[in-house]
Amino acid sequence: MEHESVPLYWRNIPAYYRLVAKRCKKCGEVYYPPVVKCTKCGSAELEDYQLPHEGELVEFTVLRSVPTDFLKQKPLVIGLVKLGPVKVLGQIVDAMPEKLKPGQRMEVVFRRVVVDGKYGLVMYGYKFRPRP
Amino acid sequence: MKVGIVSWGAYIPKYRIRTEDIAATWGDDPQRIIDIYLVYEKSVEGYDEDAVTIATEAARRALRRGNVDPKKIGAVYSGTESKPYAVKPISSILIDALGLPNNVFAVDMEFACKAASDGIVAITGLVESGRIEYGLAVGTDTSQGEPGEHLDYSASSGGVAYVIGKDGVAAEFEAIYTYNSDTPDFWRREGSPYPMHGEGFTGEPAYFRHVVGAAKGVMEKYGYKVSDFAYAIFHQPNGRFPMRAATILGFPPEKVKPGIVVTHIGNTYNASALMGLARVLEQAKPGDKILLVTFGSGAGSNAFVLNVTDAVLERQKADVPKVDEMLADKIYVDYATYLKNRKMIKLFE
Amino acid sequence: MQDVWINGTAMAQTGRHYGLNADEMAARVLEEALKDAGYPEIEALFVASATAEQADKQQMLGAYIASRLGLDKIATYRVENADGSGGAALMAAAMAVRSGLYNCVGVVGVDKPNDVLSNQQQDIYSTATDAVYERYFGVTPAAQAAIMAKIYLAKYEYKYEDLALWPVLMHKNGASNPYAYMRKQAKVEDVLESELVSDPLRLYDVGPMADGAAAVVLCNKKGAAKLLGMWTSTSAIPFNNRPDYDVLYSAREAAERAYRMAGITPRDVATAEVHDSYSIFGVLAAEALGLAPRGGLLAALKSGADLKVNLSGGLKSRGNVMGATGVYQAVEVVWQLMGKSPFKRVDGSIGVVHSMGGVDKVSTVMVLGL
């Protein structure tokens, strides 16, 4: 049985659950993953920024050789999705890969990501799917 | 101003299994099963879905439809009988998944399929008392049925969420009435993977006594008659029971059918009657009155009289998937995939 | 500033070394390299390993390798930059000699990915991606490489068949390298018929994980080859927000700076070993080293150009020895410059090593000369 780190999961809940990014208060640049200081203007004043939950598919691949946590979910569709000012990399679900096309509308969904064995934590997070 | 439904959201997982594919696995005659239950196919969650993810999707849609600021939600109550955790609430996960404030009453409720409607009752009280501005009542289930047993033909997955408040009400609660007793028609013991039920006993002494009792109770106590209602919606464990309840109460089929979704997604338990209500709200007109009767085994019913307001028109226009659209948007799976998605295959963990 | 010379080299055949512990395997190869160098007194040991903790439950591998050889009182450092650990350890060791702190140091790269199951190898490899924003969601380097391959092929209007020329070349090169893991020729059809790993990448596009150990001895006195230039560069841009997916930023910058230090141009390069953990990275790395214009490497392969790149067979054929890779590459390039068996002497005196950790996260480029 694996033992996933609870604090590691817990502290990333705002990103995992809601796609909370960081925005520079001074120049408005948006960062996901977040930065500690703005790499564009140097300001250390950053605020939470909610990424939109709809976007556009940039590119994707169907991954057949997967880590242990995902062995029962083969294949994984891994895609880059443009969400407002940034792109986000993640799983695409509820889709037939042969029908996916770059440029199509995608929506963010909330799904199980990792289940820590039979008795451990159920860990959730964002995934993407074609906008119905 | 009356308290009522400000907004609603529904979520039906994309996967379906046909009754004939279940019957073929277990040696049943599919036509006989369909004749008994009037369930042609049922919804199946994805492998990475559970009652938490389904609740989140429904709730996000409810907030979006009504353009409700999550920070104004003062209570989140989840009704379910398929919690992924025996101990650890769905409602607390919803706080962070939806971005609700920490000053929010949060609890999961259990009364078989009725709990979500008890969440509505409780939130209505909190709003009426002025303690909170809006509350979120969620019904979510990935309900269990032993493979090959008759529940396997109907127990399905889905969720609904209702924002209850005083401001921007699309359907007012004019009356609420309840009818409960100790009637052991269906249960699941702690640690048991599947429920047991009393077959025919789930009918007369359980479903019909409580549903009809609550419906008659609300109409008698508050002075409504069948002809006052444009729609009647009943808990729907199968396609037959709500139609028969309607007949007993004297509702014509055309007032009942719009609220029936069980035939094509199965029984979504805590989302069952409330999914029917979502479908009705997506087509109702201002001024329509709706009778909603939920039911939970064990057993009890809550009856609600709703009065649709002008605000419903705006909610209907919102860019949120409608129940009918979700009914049509589906991917069929075979029985093996169904067992996999429902986590019924024994794996190394 | 001291000159840095490679005084001794050694490597083990890559493969499945089920009978050897990691420290033992590393110690054997280090001993060979020390012998090759004439047993100088080494004052420090730099160990490159990407998988020591995860596959072999061992930290401070350097101390245990030292124990195996009785190298008491020396300094030991373990250097980790995922599959780019080898380049990083070489860089650290070279800096230590160059600074004058040490006269002679050992560098050994070792990894034993075959000590774990194939899915556990994916677990380990995916720790080279961002743990929170990528690995958590099931992202692996293969998936990222695949997305880059898709974008590259589309942008420069290549077909997948064109990309397949890379593994074919690697198998051709590796077939005559007895140290390689996959020592057989492959045809384009073999590549096209192999299973999809992450589309468009197929099995032949992926360097198979192999156990291996390689060592060099670096000293400030003349040896077989001289370190003419070296640079390490990190790409701080997250994968999801790269402006371009058809270039290796880290390799491009490291190559430019290393070439400048060595005073060479790409035309001077007689042989190069690049980090082709996935065929697309071989293509992009070769372009980053200036061996072909951007977007032009596959066109060069199609036109039958005689590219002196990965004469070892690269990660595809020699095997992906993870953290040991960079050290293997350094040994291979030295042997290619010297004409030491199994390699024929290349036409020129300058060779280049490109060692990369993760998907264009950190690259080290070293320029070696006779």
User: Tokens 């990083």 appear where?
Assistant: C88
CATH, range A6-13+52-130: 2.40.50
Residue by residue, DSSP assigns C216-232 as EEEESS--SEEEEEEEE
Q: Do chain A and chain B touch with ≥3 beta carbon pairs under 8 Å?
A: yes
Average pLDDT over residues B248-252: 98
Q: Are strands C212-219 and C5-11 parallel, antiparallel or unpaired?
A: antiparallel
Q: Which residue of B has its CA nearest to A118?
A: B349
CB A131 within 8 A of CB A105: yes
Cα distances (Å, whole numbers) of residue C211 to A75, C122, C328: 27, 15, 12
User: pLDDT exceeding 70 applies to what percent of chain C?
Assistant: 100
User: Tokens 């408040």 appear where?
Assistant: B165
The torsion region of residue C295 among left (phi > 0), alpha (psi -120 to 50) and beta comes to left
Q: Give yes or no: B235 in active site.
A: yes
Q: What is the pLDDT of residues B68-90, one digit of tens each?
A: 999 999 999 999 999 999 999 99
CB contact under 8 A, A65 and C142: yes
Q: How far is A42 from chain B (nearest CA, A)?
A: 29
Q: Can you tell me the distance from the alpha carbon of C196 to that of C179, in angstroms, rounded to the nearest whole number?
A: 27
* In chain A, domain spans: 6-13+52-130
* In chain B, domain spans: 4-170+312-341, 174-310
Q: Can you tell me the distance from the alpha carbon of C279 to that of C145, in angstroms, rounded to the nearest whole number?
A: 9
C43 pLDDT higher than 90: yes
B113 pLDDT higher than 70: yes
Q: Report how far Cα B149 is from the mean position of its chain's Cα atoms.
A: 22
Q: How much is the mean pLDDT over chain C?
A: 98
The token pair at C240 is 């999801």
At A2 the pLDDT is: 60
The continuous run of DSSP H or E covering A10 comes out as helix A6-11
Chain B residue numbers with beta carbons less than 8 Å from the beta carbon of A110 are 52-53, 56-57, 60, 97
At A132 the pLDDT is: 81
C248 pLDDT higher than 60: yes
Q: What is the pLDDT of residues B131-143, one digit of tens each?
A: 999 999 999 999 9
Using 50, 70 and 90 to split pLDDT, how confident is the model at C88? very high
CB contact under 8 A, B56 and A110: yes
Q: What is the pLDDT of residues B287-308, one digit of tens each?
A: 999 999 999 999 999 999 999 9
A9 pLDDT higher than 80: yes
At B349 the pLDDT is: 75
The continuous run of DSSP H or E covering C325 comes out as helix C325-338
- Kindly report which listed range (A26-30, B344-348, C198-202) carries the lowest average pLDDT score: B344-348
The token pair at B194 is 């599947």
CA terminus-to-terminus distance, chain A: 38
Q: Can you tell me the distance from the alpha carbon of C21 to that of C32, in angstroms, rounded to the nearest whole number?
A: 17
Cα distances (Å, whole numbers) of residue C207 to C278, C284, C319, C361: 6, 15, 6, 18
The token pair at C50 is 């990407």
Average pLDDT over residues C125-131: 97
At A3 the pLDDT is: 83
Q: Are strands A76-83 and A105-115 parallel, antiparallel or unpaired?
A: unpaired
CB contact under 8 A, B46 and A117: no
Query: What burial class does residue B317 get, using C-beta atoms within 10 Å of its C-beta: 0-12 exposed, 13-18 middle, 19+ buried?
Result: exposed
Q: Can you tell me the distance from the alpha carbon of B240 to that of A55, in angstroms, rounded to the nearest whole number?
A: 42
The CATH architecture to which B4-170+312-341 belongs is 3-Layer(aba) Sandwich (3.40)
ipTM confidence score: 0.97
Chain C residue numbers with beta carbons less than 8 Å from the beta carbon of A60 are 147
Q: Give yes or no: B149 in active site.
A: no
Q: Can you tell me the distance from the alpha carbon of B70 to that of B99, in angstroms, rounded to the nearest whole number?
A: 6
CB contact under 8 A, A122 and B331: no
What φ, ψ does residue C367 adopt, rounded to 5°? Answer: -110, 120
What φ, ψ does residue C341 adopt, rounded to 5°? Answer: -55, 140
The torsion region of residue C364 among left (phi > 0), alpha (psi -120 to 50) and beta comes to beta
Q: Can you tell me the distance from the alpha carbon of A20 to that of A52, in angstroms, rounded to the nearest whole number?
A: 9
Catalytic residue among B81, B172, B264, B282: B81
Cβ within 8 Å of residue B87, ≥6 positions away: none
Which amino acid does the sequence have at B186? F
Chain A residue numbers with beta carbons less than 8 Å from the beta carbon of C120 are 68
The continuous run of DSSP H or E covering B124 comes out as helix B115-128
The CATH architecture to which B174-310 belongs is 3-Layer(aba) Sandwich (3.40)
The continuous run of DSSP H or E covering C297 comes out as helix C297-302
Q: Give yes or no: B264 in active site.
A: no
Q: Are strands C271-273 and C350-357 parallel, antiparallel or unpaired?
A: parallel
Residue by residue, DSSP assigns B183-232 as E-SEE--TT-SS-EE-GGGGIIIIIIHHHHHHHHHHHHHHT--GGG-SEE
CATH, range C5-117+209-219: 3.40.47.10
**Largest alpha-carbon pair distance within chain B?**
59
At B104 the pLDDT is: 98
CA terminus-to-terminus distance, chain C: 20
**Chain B 227-246, CB below 8 Å of chain A: which residues?**
none
Question: Least CB-CB distance to B46: which of A72, A94, A122?
Answer: A94
The token pair at C315 is 């990660």
Neighbours of chain C (3+ CB pairs under 8 A): A
What φ, ψ does residue B321 adopt, rounded to 5°? Answer: -55, 135
Question: Least CB-CB distance to B84: which of A96, A113, A122?
Answer: A122
At C202 the pLDDT is: 98
What φ, ψ does residue B265 adopt, rounded to 5°? Answer: -130, -5
Task: Report the SS3 class of residue B335.
Answer: helix
The continuous run of DSSP H or E covering B1 comes out as none
Q: How far is A114 from chain B (nearest CA, A)?
A: 9
Q: What is the pLDDT of residues A26-78, one digit of tens each?
A: 999 999 999 999 999 999 999 999 999 999 999 999 999 999 999 999 999 99
Q: Can you tell me the distance from the alpha carbon of B327 to that of B316, in angstroms, rounded to the nearest whole number?
A: 17
**Chain C 136-175, CB below 8 Å of chain A: which residues?**
136-140, 142-144, 146-147, 150-151
A1 pLDDT higher than 70: no
Chain A residue numbers with beta carbons less than 8 Å from the beta carbon of C142 are 63, 65
Which amino acid does the sequence have at B218? V
CB A127 within 8 A of CB A92: yes
Residue by residue, DSSP assigns B71-86 as GGEEEEEEE-S--S-S
At C1 the pLDDT is: 86
Question: Least CB-CB distance to B57: which of A13, A73, A109?
Answer: A109
The residue among C119, C134, C136 with the most chain A CBs within 10 A of its CB, best to mutate, is C136
What φ, ψ does residue B84 adopt, rounded to 5°? Answer: -65, -30
Task: Report the SS3 class of residue B331.
Answer: strand
